[in-house]
Amino acid sequence: MRVLALNCGSSSLRCAVIDTESGQRTAERHEELGGRSHEAVLREWIHAWSNPGCDEIAGIEAVGHRVVHGGESFQNAAIVTEESLGRLKALSPLAPLHNPANIAGIRAMGAAFPSLPQVAVFDTAFHHSLPPHAYLYALPYDLYEAHGIRRYGFHGISHRSAAQTAEKRLGLDGRESRILVAHLGSGCSASAVRNGRSIDTTMGATPLEGLVMGTRSGDLDPGLFAPIAEARETDLEGVTDLLNRDSGLLGLSGLSGDMRELEAAALQGHAGALRAIEVFTYRLARTLASLVVPLGGLDGLVFTGGIGENSAEIRKRTVDWLMPLGLAIDADRNAVHGAQDRGLLSPDGQIPVVTVASDEEAAIAEETAQALASPGVA
């Protein structure tokens, strides 16, 4: 099946047409939004695809969309209907940087190609295997029972794909494997994947919990909400906006939420950039170490996402913190991102540390084809 896979991220837009049988890829596009809306960029893409003579997306049979938050309702990829769109919209307050963009992508493609089936592929679906002791908050239990307030986890499309790729590269049996995945980009999360199933992860009810991110704070003492609101003379909505858009690397550095800019500035002695990098890597390492507990051991650590794949410095700093767990990194392999060693970064004989190129579009296309082969609307 030829699927147009659309990935509306918090700060970027990606797509590719993928033949799920041959793996052939065409019409690949990637655009950083830079303050522009998803709708504006999509209008340009659709206009280009609609021009006479353009055959970039010729022959597509479906459109698959990354959707960040599916709540408890959507545990698998689902064919899009007006009813399901309404349920996704209701979840938008839990993913304010993502679900509205994902819905906008669905609306735009539905208007442009009304005869094509559309499928939503959920970031939360992979983490539905979390046990109750991992997904429950220490809150009155009725908040979960009546309102679904629990930890859901995100970046599941990436975590599943990265873990599966790492298992193949390392020759591990997927039925007996213990993998840590660090998805590091504008948004960041880590997961513990045992025997191919997610058993714990860092993001929670929303994509705000967990690691330090580009503009998101990650874990924060909830007792600070009132003092922050008073200091900034704002309300709960204003504090939530600050934690999502003005915190993380951007807030710590006072310079940028882009790790590439921070690494360059740190080399020039920028104190804020160095501060942000140090907090980012320490918090990441501390969290990865804690995720070894539910795994009961470790067969490999995987770095993926834009930062995870491309930043040798961030990987080195992180793994240096993890030396007590028996992890180490080879300087030469790390400098070239393990390009000559199928992503392997660790010295021979050590617990493997690998990089895996994130390929969410291929995973979206595959799950879209599977959903259409076994139709059923969640």
Catalytic positions, written as ranges: 123
Q: How far is CA 2 from the centre of its chain?
A: 24
DSSP state of 189: E
Distances (CA, A) of 240 to 7, 112, 192, 220: 24, 34, 28, 12
Distance CA 243, CA 163 (A): 29
- Torsion angle, CA of 253/282/188/230, rounded to 10 degrees? -50
Q: How far is CA 314 from the centre of its chain?
A: 17
User: Which of 64, 27, 62 shows the shortest CA–CA distance to 46?
Assistant: 27
Question: Residue 47 is encoded by which pair of tokens?
Answer: 């206009």
Cβ within 8 Å of residue 163, ≥6 positions away: 177, 179, 181, 191, 193, 196, 302
* 28: phi then psi, degrees, rounded to nearest 5: -75, 130
83 CB-contact burial (10 Å; exposed 0-12 / middle 13-18 / buried 19+): exposed
